[in-house]
Amino acid sequence: MSSFPWLLVIGAVPVVGAVVVAATPQVRKEAGREDAVRWVALGVSLLTFALTVGMAVGYHSSGDRFQFGRSYSWIPQFGVHFAVGIDGIALVMILLTAFLVPVVVIASWRDDDSVPTVIPAVIPTGYEGAAPHPDVAVVDVADVVDGDGRHSRPAGFFASILVLEAMLIGVFAATDLFLFYVFFEAMLIPMYFLIGRYGTGGAKASYAAMKFLLYSLAGGLVMLAAVIGVYVLSARTGSGSFLFSVLSDHNRLQMATSVQLWLWFGFFIAFAIKAPLWPFHTWLPDAAAEAPIGASILLVGVMDKVGTFGFLRWSLPLFPNASKTMAPLVMTLAVIGIIYGALLAIGQRDLKRLLAYTSIAHFGFIAVGIFAFTSQGMAGATLYMVNHGFSTGALFLIVGFLVARQNSSSITDFGGVHKVAPWLSGAFFIAGLSSLALPGTNSFVSEFLVLIGSFTTYRVFAIIATVGIIFAAIYILLMYQRTMHGPLLERNAGMRDLSWREAAALIPMVALILGLGFFPKPALDVINPAVSSTQHDTGQSDPVAPHPAADSVAATEGTGK
């Protein structure tokens, strides 16, 4: 199985699928053609997931650090290779991506056409109240967008989802720094269109899409300068290279402390914006609120993890001294983000924006675990990236179902939903408990590892981060109480419960939330060896706890007894 080009095939299948989806002929008002697009997208996403599972079965956690590797000379004049390979950290992130895309496709599947409404047209002066002017277009919303903001012709939407999946797989699998940068920037394009064209529509969606793009491009350009700097340094002792195997050799990539700090900052800015860490976060609430629910799930559940993944894959191994020097700064930003995100989440009245602010707090925990430089902290942070994708993905999914029912994401428009939709309410409750890291849910294990790992090296930051757990309970329970319980609002009296399609999207996520909560060992067995290799690259080791017996002997000798 190791001879099979798993990563190349897994990355190519969504691209081919996107081309097929985009090329599928569609005729206006013919739902059968539109259904064909959806079935093709679902089939491609399920095939990608099946191939990813097959690759995971063949992965040996005790084997080589990078497995299923392939490397082809791409731009030989600059030492650029199309090189891919995965360690345990990359594997779990690719599995998360491949799992969430079919869920998004199913959840974005429209049960029936939206109720036609009319977009207000601009009526020329003098024609008010008269018959429609021939130059005035009265447009049916069903021809433009459906209930959650997607265009009723779904080819572009699902093609963008599949292209985004391919870019995400590429960014996690790249073992060439230049190739990583290409995927890092290329994944912005489909997400930009998902937000701007298939989002809620109007000026707000366009603004959110442009803000997302400009923030990300600015960070990417700073990182590009650092990438060039790394290449120049690698060329001083031989031919220049972007390969991880070459750049991670500290004897090959020698640099002064000041140079290492500047290069580290170049990567940090890009990754902090992508994560996002406070105060680089301001694009996320707008993007998550205006994007269609499927795009929000992939944006917050996977795409933002590219930033924290970049810290683990590139920043720590390439710049270990700078990473250690700047760890207190990152820790400070992370704990501010934990408290800040939680406090703003408590005050939100829009469900989608609330979930976006909770994610800022969660990413703070992930950063704390990474820069604790302990095996428990890094393993917890990696597992947190996966678990956050399930818990927050499920919450966004449920919010999407609520928005589709009431055409509103305002908390005040819900109340007493549990009385008419108990299954939807139950799933919301489980996903919420996972988000606040209740024992027995998946997030508890990862959050516990992060706090234990960081307490041994940065005690003050760990204590402050623990306060965020209290705030998490407040914003999750308040959100659930205000939407699911209380008096049943009249507008919610006829709300239907979960459909079979919606249940098919939610059940696997709920099962993983509970399964990984009680039995996280399979995921940790894959993650731990990769974390150990990353920790070795930084030259750090876990602090050794003093032995009580040794302390007793030392105290006795000190007294002369």
Instruction: Please identify which residue in the block is written with the tokens 């090189």.
Output: 83
112 closest CA partner among 82, 86, 142:
142
Residues above pLDDT 90, as percent of the chain: 46
Does residue 238 surpass a pLDDT of 80?
A: no
Q: Are 498 and 110 in contact (CB under 8 A)?
A: no
Would you state the pLDDT for residue 141?
27
534 inside domain: yes
Alpha helices in 348-499 (DSSP H): 351-370, 375-406, 422-435, 442-455, 459-484
Q: How many residues are there in the chain?
A: 561
238 inside domain: no
Over the stretch 196-214, which tens digit does the pLDDT of each residue have? Answer: 888 877 788 888 999 999 9
Q: Are 63 and 109 in contact (CB under 8 A)?
A: no
Q: Are 52 and 21 in contact (CB under 8 A)?
A: no
- Name the β-bridge partners of 67: 86
Does residue 244 surpass a pLDDT of 60?
A: yes
Domain that holds residue 461: 319-544
Would you state the pLDDT for residue 488?
82
Beta strand 80-86 with 67-75 is antiparallel
163 inside domain: no
Would you state the pLDDT for residue 110?
67
Does residue 342 surpass a pLDDT of 80?
A: yes
Run of H or E residues at 35:
helix 31-58
- Name the β-bridge partners of 499: none
User: In whole angstroms, what is the distance from residue 342 CA to residue 164 CA?
Assistant: 29
Report angle CA 476, 301, 112 to the nearest 5 degrees: 85
- Give the distance from CA 333 to its chain's centroid: 19
For residues 44 and 1, the model is more confident at: 44
Would you state the pLDDT for residue 288?
87
Over the stretch 282-321, which tens digit does the pLDDT of each residue have? Answer: 888 889 888 888 899 999 999 999 999 999 999 999 998 8
Would you state the pLDDT for residue 252?
64
Would you state the pLDDT for residue 191?
93
Q: Are 33 and 40 in contact (CB under 8 A)?
A: no
Over the stretch 347-401, which tens digit does the pLDDT of each residue have? Answer: 888 899 999 999 899 999 999 999 999 999 999 999 999 999 999 999 999 998 9
Listed in sequence order, the residues at least 6 apart from 232 whose beta carbon sits closer than 8 Å to its beta carbon are 240
Give the mean pLDDT of 232-255: 78
Q: Compute the mean pLDDT over every residue in the chain, rounded to the nearest whole number.
A: 84
Would you state the pLDDT for residue 130?
41
Confidence of residue 77 (pLDDT cuts 50, 70, 90): confident
Confidence of residue 42 (pLDDT cuts 50, 70, 90): very high
Q: Are 300 and 392 in contact (CB under 8 A)?
A: yes
464 inside domain: yes
531 inside domain: yes
Total structural domains within the chain: 1
- Whole-Å CA distances, 57 to 68, 91, 379: 12, 11, 21
Peptide bond into 317 cis (omega under 30): no
390 inside domain: yes
Would you state the pLDDT for residue 536?
84
Amino acid at 24: T
In terms of Cβ atoms closer than 10 Å to its own Cβ (0-12, 13-18, 19+), residue 122 is exposed
Give the mean pLDDT of 104-131: 49
Give the mean pLDDT of 545-559: 49
Does residue 270 surpass a pLDDT of 60?
A: yes
Over the stretch 80-98, which tens digit does the pLDDT of each residue have? Answer: 899 999 999 999 999 999 9
User: In whole angstroms, what is the distance from residue 288 CA to residue 209 CA?
Assistant: 10
Q: Are 160 and 198 in contact (CB under 8 A)?
A: yes
Would you state the pLDDT for residue 35?
75
Would you state the pLDDT for residue 547?
54
Would you state the pLDDT for residue 251?
61
Would you state the pLDDT for residue 382?
94
Does residue 239 surpass a pLDDT of 90?
A: no
Confidence of residue 512 (pLDDT cuts 50, 70, 90): very high
Residue 428 is encoded by which pair of tokens?
């919301």
226 inside domain: no
Does residue 136 surpass a pLDDT of 90?
A: no
Does residue 527 surpass a pLDDT of 60?
A: yes
Residue 436 is encoded by which pair of tokens?
């606040």
User: In whole angstroms, what is the distance from residue 70 CA to residue 67 CA?
Assistant: 9
Sign of the C-alpha dihedral computed for residues 491, 150, 212 and 84 taken in this order: positive
551 inside domain: no
Over the stretch 461-498, which tens digit does the pLDDT of each residue have? Answer: 999 989 888 888 888 888 988 888 888 888 878 888 88
Does residue 444 surpass a pLDDT of 80?
A: yes
The predicted model scores a pTM of: 0.86
Q: Are 411 and 482 in contact (CB under 8 A)?
A: yes
Peptide bond into 134 cis (omega under 30): no
User: In whole angstroms, what is the distance from residue 266 CA to residue 372 CA?
Assistant: 21
Would you state the pLDDT for residue 542?
73
Does residue 129 surpass a pLDDT of 70?
A: no
User: In whole angstroms, what is the distance from residue 436 CA to residue 441 CA?
Assistant: 9
Would you state the pLDDT for residue 126?
42
